[in-house]
Amino acid sequence: MKKLTLQGRRILLLLHIIFAAIMLGVQAVFIILALTASVTSDSTVLHACYSIMHLLASSSVRASTIGVTVTGIMLSVMTSWKLFRYNWIIAKEVLTLLYIGVGIVGLYEWTLKGIEPTAQAGLGAWQTSGFTVNHSLLWIGIAVQTVSLIVMYILSIWKPGGERRSYRKPLKEVKQT
């Protein structure tokens, strides 16, 4: 694979950071909306929270996750970082898969399951079968995504764990006399 020029690497890194910032912003909005849905005494607000979260789950979450994944893979493959050379990159890849699973599948489904009960029953949705469980699963998903995103930021900044053993240069063998 062809290596990136310095300018190309900077542009790709900028795009990667922009997509990661969008992910962080969307997480903050999800926390605010889920918290608002948990404490509101207005049925219109409850329904609006679920509708907005569902809109975000089907648009911004998907776009930013795809963008950060594609740019991250390109940065790994087209630079000296490589996909499996460093432990911190492998950890970010695993966390990204978790984030994708929870975001694209979980948050989408949990918000979708909250729209109809809130539209039909309003605040009475809390008494409908499964709504509280669904809301709890939504909160768990938001928490998992938030923690994984924060850990990915930490890994990107501190890069702990170093290079994997299979990529290290072998030590020169000492000649015995």
Q: Is 130 left (phi over 0), alpha (psi -120 to 50) or beta?
A: left
Question: In this structure, which amino acid lies at residue 166?
Answer: S
pLDDT, average across residues 154-169: 87
166 part of a folded domain? no
Residue 170, domain member (yes or no): no
Give the pLDDT score at 3.
84
132-158: average pLDDT:
98
Residue 140 lies in a domain: yes
Q: Which of 145, 46, 161, 47 is nearest to 103 (CA)?
A: 145
Task: Work out the average pLDDT over 80-95.
Answer: 95
Q: Round to the nearest angstrom and report the end-to-end CA distance of the chain.
A: 44
Tell me what pLDDT residue 132 has. 97
Assign 8 a pLDDT band (cuts: 50, 70, 90).
very high
Angstrom distance (rounded) from CA 92 to CA 95: 5
**Lookup: tokens for 70:** 């594609």
In a domain? residue 173: no
User: Residue 24 domain-assigned?
Assistant: yes
The verdict on residue 20 lying in a domain is: yes
pLDDT at 161 over 90: no
Asked whether residue 46 is assigned to any structural domain, the reply reads yes
Q: Is residue 175 part of a domain?
A: no
Q: What pLDDT, on the 0 to 100 scale, is given for residue 175?
A: 52
Contact 50, 115 (CB under 8 A): yes
- For the entire predicted model, the pTM comes to 0.90
pLDDT of residue 166: 81
The range of the structural domain enclosing residue 36 comes to 6-159
Residue 168 scores a pLDDT above 80: no
> Please, what is the average pLDDT of the chain?
94
pLDDT of residue 71: 98
Burial of 72 (0-12, 13-18, 19+ CB in 10 A): buried
pLDDT at site 162? 86
Q: Using the predicted structure, report yes or no on whether residue 7 has a pLDDT greater than 90.
A: yes
Model pLDDT, residue 170: 63
**% the chain with pLDDT above 90:** 87
What whole-number distance in Å separates Cα of residue 61 and Cα of residue 51? 14
Total of domains in the chain? 1
| Average pLDDT for 5-16 | 97
Q: What digits encode the pLDDT tens for the residues 29-78? A: 999 999 999 999 999 999 999 999 999 999 999 999 999 999 999 999 99
